[in-house]
Amino acid sequence: MPRYKLTIEYDGGPFAGWQRVATGPSVQSTLEAAVEKLCGEGRDVVGAGRTDAGVHALAQAAHVDLPKPLEADVVANALNAHLRPAPISVLSAEIVADDFHARFDAVHRVYRYRILNRRADAALDRGRVWRMGRPLDAEAMDDAAQALVGAHDFTTFRDTHCQAKSPVKTLDVARVLRFGEEVELAFEARSFLHRQVRSMTGTLAEVGMGRMRVRDVAAALAAKDRARCGPVAPAEGLYLVRVDYAAK
């Protein structure tokens, strides 16, 4: 039974997140419906990460086992045909080893958060950015973000419903840059806690608005107290950029 690795792009707006749920359509369940149309039987599609409702992906990774071998491009093209008009695209499919696991074999994940920093509402990117009308000091945000880099107990930035066994994670990159009216935050790590990126983003935005000082972020992290976290940034500005795997 061949296993395929899928690279997937999607607009998270219409979905209740990646994971299959009973309350509405998810990216996973929509993909699984397309797989069933392709092969005539139900198959689990296992993702590299369980993005929340409204979170987008530029290159989510997943794997699926099909009952018979097919050319990789046939799988990608057929799934895309069955997915229309849902805002999900299979960018590529490739045959991988039977023991490949999209979630547990991932060694690096990259997220990006987009803030549109202007008074006027987003017309073209509505639902894809967090529009903030108050001016943001991106340099101060970037300075504060460096306190988060490294191995830490991220309890302060951990959702209360997080199911991870430990709050300790190693954040490899935390960067904040301004590109005209847009402020972009980038975070890279092997793995993240539930809503960790959105929690860190909301706290750094408080620094950008002058409501918190740069040193307050380090103090909040050290406190290991969820009450010290700033408001959680909305899902619509968050993108899973890519998932990396070790070469074999």
For the chain, which residues make up each domain, given as ranges?
3-96, 107-245
Query: Among all chains, which residue has been given the structure tokens 């795997």?
Result: 245
Q: Is 105 designated active site?
A: no
State the number of CA atoms in the 13 A half-sphere of 66 facing the CB.
26
Strands 238-245 and 56-65: parallel
Express each pLDDT in 90-123 by its tens digit.
999 999 999 999 999 999 999 999 999 999 999 9
- Topology of domain 107-245, CATH: Alpha-Beta Plaits (3.30.70)
Give, in words, the CATH class of 3-96: alpha beta
- Whether the domain at 3-96 and the domain at 107-245 fall into the same CATH topology: yes
Question: Which among 11, 44, 52, 65 is annotated as catalytic?
Answer: 52
Give the closest residue to 143 by CA, choosing from 217, 224, 202, 198: 217
Residue 161: per-residue pLDDT: 87
Is 197 in contact with 173 (CB distance < 8 Å)?
no
pLDDT for res 45: 97
The list of the chain residues with pLDDT below 50 reads none
pLDDT at site 248: 64
The predicted-structure confidence for 197-219, as pLDDT tens digits, reads as follows: 999 999 999 999 999 999 999 99
pTM exceeding the 0.85 threshold for the entire prediction = yes
**Would you state the pLDDT for residue 159?**
93
